[in-house]
Amino acid sequence: MNWKLAEKEINVLGIKKENNELYVFLYDDGNKAKIIEVFRRFASNPELSFTSYDAYRLTCRINRRRSYRRKRFR
């Protein structure tokens, strides 16, 4: 376990599917590109109910959060 990670702010992002599956993602601000890549991999996996639209929605939420923080901390 990396204890320095505990000092960072961790973002939690989730989506609940119609079939009651729940996808929950944890990431820090320095790993936004990596979590978006995870969304793409999940969307391309036919064994998951996670779709490209889900990936799009979560990516938009990440971008909105980034925009909100920029405005908030100016």
Specify burial of residue 55 (Cβ count, 10 A radius: 0-12, 13-18, 19+). buried
Q: What range does the domain containing 60 cover?
A: 3-72
Q: Mind listing the pLDDT tens digit for each residue in 17-39?
A: 999 999 999 998 889 999 999 99
Helix axes 32-43, 52-72, angle to 10 degrees: 160
Per the structure, the count of domains in the chain is 1
pLDDT for 57: 96
Which pTM value belongs to this model?
0.76
Q: What is the C-alpha to C-alpha distance for residues 30 and 56, in angstroms, rounded to an integer? A: 19
